[in-house]
Amino acid sequence: MNHIDRAFQELRAEGHAAFIPFLTAGDPDPDTTARIVLAAGEAGADVVELGFPFSDPIADGPTIQNSYTRALARGQRSEDVFRLVESVRPQSEIPIVAMISYSLVFRMGFDRFLDRACRAGLDGATIPDLPVEEMGRMRAAAEERGFHLICFATPATTPARRSMIVSAAAGFIYYIAVRGITGEREALPQDLVQNIRALKALTEAPVAVGFGISKPAHARAVAQVADGVIVGSALVRRIHEASEQGEDRVNAAVGFIREMARAVKGGRPAHKR
């Protein structure tokens, strides 16, 4: 069974939502990223989303864009991310999902990308610039390998597209909470709970919510209705600030992951994997 499916099955049985931190691979360096991934599970993370640095991301705000720029400036490339995952896999079975631009996949060819991703130990991928209408051949190839291509839904998704997304769902559906790009927000949209419930009424697939979630209060509220809570920019910022201030980057990341995971689990002890 795919690690993602197992994680959500176990969490549903326990009555918990998943906490899914996002990390930029190679920022500040590959070794630090690997150490954070390994520590994340013990800190309460249930899935890790790992960003492949790319020069022109379409969905990411300044915090993640800047982290990609830093990683690329240090020479980080896609093959380095695969090797990073390979270094982690013998020590952890935590589900790892790539966030990657289709430009990088297209350059490799989707069969080659899927083979390399599976060999490295990735469990799935979110590809923001690959719409559900155009993922048919790649989705079929991914299904043959037991690899999940995770679809996005947004507040602006039409009923027709929503039906397509539900039909194509694998692993979980990534619901984008806000209209716009990634980044920390003071408050989440007032219609978020209503929108999550409407989507969940259409599917048995887990629904994980990201974009804008940056505080324990946000995470706690979303976890009441969603199957997963995704946090990226707030974590990436803390890692960078620790680097700038000469602090321990792993401790800074783990402390924030633990805090957010406890909020997702309703204040109960973090679920360990």
Over residues 220-243, the pLDDT tens digits come to: 989 999 999 999 899 999 999 999
Q: What is the pTM of this model?
A: 0.93
In the block, tokens 């809570």 appear at 229
Q: How high is the pLDDT of residue 192?
A: 87
Superfamily for domain range 3-264: Aldolase class I (3.20.20.70)
Domain boundaries, the chain: 3-264
Q: Is the pLDDT of residue 178 over 80?
A: no
- Contact status, residue 154 vs residue 161, Cβ threshold 8 Å: no
| Sequence-separated (6 or more) residues with CB below 8 Å from residue 26 | 33, 53, 71, 74, 76, 80, 81, 84
- Cα 242 from Cα 252, distance rounded (Å): 7
H helix runs in the chain, sequence order: 3-14, 30-43, 62-73, 78-88, 102-108, 110-120, 136-144, 159-168, 192-200, 216-223, 233-244, 249-264
Q: What's the chain's average pLDDT?
A: 91
Mean pLDDT, range 187-194, rounded to an integer: 74
Mean pLDDT, range 205-226, rounded to an integer: 91
Question: How would you classify residue 178: left for phi > 0, otherwise alpha for psi between -120 and 50, otherwise beta?
Answer: beta
Mean pLDDT, range 105-113, rounded to an integer: 97
Per-residue pLDDT band at 179 (split at 50, 70, 90): low
Q: Bigger pLDDT: 267 or 236?
A: 236
Mean pLDDT, range 89-95, rounded to an integer: 96
Per-residue pLDDT band at 186 (split at 50, 70, 90): low
Q: Give catalytic residues, as residue numbers.
A: 49, 60
- Cα 17 from Cα 49, distance rounded (Å): 16
Residue type, 248: D
